[in-house]
Amino acid sequence: MDRLLLTLAILLLAFQPMAAQEKQGTRTAMLRSAAVLQSVNIARGSAPANDDCANAQTIAVSTDCDSPIAGNNAEATDVPLDVPCDDPGSELLDVWYTFNSGSLTTVYVDLAPGAGMTDHAMVVYDGCAGEAVYCMVAPVAVQEVEVAANTDYWIRVYSNLNYGVGGAFTLCVSSETVIASTPPNDLCADAVPQVVALGSSVSFNGDNTGATDSEGIGYNSAWEAFTINACADVKLDFCGTTPNIQDFWLLLYTSCPAGTGIFPSSYDTTTCADGNFTLCFPDLAPGTYYYGLAATNNNTGPYTMTVSAEACAPDEAANDDCSAAIALTVNATCLPQYFTNACATESLPAVTCGTFTGDASDDVWYSFVATATEITIGGAPRGNMDVVLELFEGSCGNLTSIGCSDVNGAGGSEDLVAPALTVDDTYHLRVYDFRPQFAFGEPGFDLCVVEGVGSGVGLSELNKAGTGTLFPNPSTGAFTITVGEQAAQVDYTITDATGRIVLQKRIRASNGRIALDATGVLSAGHYVVRIDDGISTATHRLIVN
């Protein structure tokens, strides 16, 4: 997925308390991408000739962008110069260009990433590494830039390694911008609503080429609309769209111009046989709804969107409620089974596990019969889910919470050890993502129940940083993270409760550990520590007293 877009998770602005406890990479808002965000270290060969502003490549201002220049920053090096529109302290792979404005007071800059460039951004400076006069992350259209006549300017094209990688791109500076014809449904109000009856579906076929941001949502979009006449569980999918939809808008709107938005409960790429996305919107009230088909660099052209509706039901996922819990078998060793909580809805409010309270909007249920007094439930995500486990005794409708596990962050495994169970009694287990599920990608996790202490689920090669733990916690700012015995070096990032990066560094591991001392740097509060050894990542919550 490219940073434009699983960078996509500023949609968390609507969930600031949770974002304060566990921050993901953020970009714009409400738009999600199919690209997998990468924070990898790129092995670089020879740096490009325009790797620094002193050697910037001169480009001419054309009348249009019929012949853009080709560039590539895949092997560029980082100039330690922060930009005003991006995360401070990030590693930015940049290349440089320069142009003279001539008699112009406005120019149009078109930066278009190639297939291998998974993050792109640009800054226009009034001198070689001078003052930034324009800055844009992941531009999806030609950018209008005001300039002074007869003045030299520098353009810095870069990729932020927190969100993606560099690659080939094209760049053009022109005196005019060609305004493409817009699709007939460029305006939300021009979308023709189609009635979707319960138990049926309606397909929309269109083309978002030339779409504009007519509704001011932040992305160029073409619009479709549908009407339901009764409460419905609605699924919206892009099955059949070629090439696959890469970037999609999360919100479904209830009016035009786009006003109140409704988030999906979840989305997945498994319902469509071709790997396109399906979004779930449970319990929609009768009315007309509007959806914007985002026109991005990854996502412009013909599309197929199908809307299906079923009568509102008490649950969507098979085990969405305790009464429909899936029975698990207790074994001597971990025999993981794969499950998903796609389209699940909340049964109970999130538990406060330790000092953290997440979002249980996607909880699902399991049960098992105890075969020993000491049992461990192991949960490991298949991806970036932040697994929360909660154990109950009693029957559905009369449950008592007796334990939980929420030690690791996104991508980490959890072990819930229950030390005093009654043999032959039935216990219930609730599993959910700590975060609002729609904001972070499709769900999926492995579960196993074993006799004794420790499951081992999700733990593989020793070389992975993802097997680590953080201690002491709480601390005064000095702490240790255990990693694989073979891990040589680890990148770490510490973000504070506002999502701001406060520390970011690469450090060598010694005997399976890295020791960090941020005493005096980290004030009292909650932080998120993310470690990456180049093979896998792990996220830990840290409390500083």
DSSP notation for 394-447? S-TTS-EEEEEE--B-TT--EEEEE-SPPTT-EEEEEEEESS-GGGT----EEE
pLDDT at 59 over 90: yes
- CB 321 within 8 Å of CB 365: yes
Q: Token pair 């169970």 is at which residue? A: 421
Stretch 343-370: mean pLDDT, rounded? 87
Report the DSSP pairing between strands 57-58 and 92-100: parallel
Backbone φ and ψ of 347, nearest 5°: -100, -45
Range of 380-384, 397-401, 457-461 with top mean pLDDT: 397-401
Cis-peptide into 257, omega within 30 deg: yes
Stretch 287-292: mean pLDDT, rounded? 95
Q: Could you report how far apart the first and last alpha carbons of the chain are, in Å?
A: 37
Q: What percent of the chain has pLDDT over 90?
A: 38
CA neighbor of 125 nearest in space, from 158, 91, 95, 98: 98
Least confident of 36-50, 211-225, 236-250: 36-50
- CB 11 within 8 Å of CB 263: yes
Q: What is the pLDDT of residues 17-47, one digit of tens each?
A: 233 233 233 333 345 444 322 222 333 347 8
* Strand runs labelled E in 138-211: 143-146, 152-160, 168-174, 194-195, 200-207
Q: What is the pLDDT of residues 187-212, one digit of tens each?
A: 999 999 999 999 999 999 999 988 88
Domain ranges of the chain: 53-174, 188-311, 322-451, 465-544
Per-residue confidence (pLDDT) for residue 31, from 0 to 100:
53
pLDDT at 1 over 70: no
Residue 269 structure tokens: 């790429």
CATH code for the domain defined by 53-174 = 2.60.120.380
Per-residue confidence (pLDDT) for residue 151, from 0 to 100:
96
- CB 431 within 8 Å of CB 389: yes
Per-residue confidence (pLDDT) for residue 326, from 0 to 100:
95
CATH C-level class of 322-451: mainly beta
Per-residue confidence (pLDDT) for residue 442, from 0 to 100:
57
Stretch 170-192: mean pLDDT, rounded? 87
CATH number (1.20.1740, 2.120.10, 1.20.1070, 2.60.120) of 188-311 reads 2.60.120
Per-residue confidence (pLDDT) for residue 464, from 0 to 100:
36
Distance CA 193, CA 64 (A): 38
Spell out the SS3 assignment of 278-326. EEEEEEECCEEEEEEEECCCCCCCEEEEEEEEEECCCCCCCCCCHHHCE
Report the DSSP pairing between strands 143-146 and 106-113: antiparallel
pLDDT band, very low/low/confident/very high, at 413 (cuts 50, 70, 90): confident
Q: What percent of the chain has pLDDT over 70?
A: 81
* pTM to 2 decimal places: 0.50
Residue 57 structure tokens: 């490549």
CATH code for the domain defined by 465-544 = 2.60.40.3080
Q: What is the mean pLDDT of the chain?
A: 81
Per-residue confidence (pLDDT) for residue 35, from 0 to 100:
35
Backbone φ and ψ of 18, nearest 5°: -75, -40
Q: Token pair 């255990």 is at which residue? A: 482
Range of 196-205, 259-268, 385-394, 451-460 with top mean pLDDT: 196-205
- CB 317 within 8 Å of CB 342: yes
Same fold, 188-311 and 322-451: yes
Stretch 210-219: mean pLDDT, rounded? 84
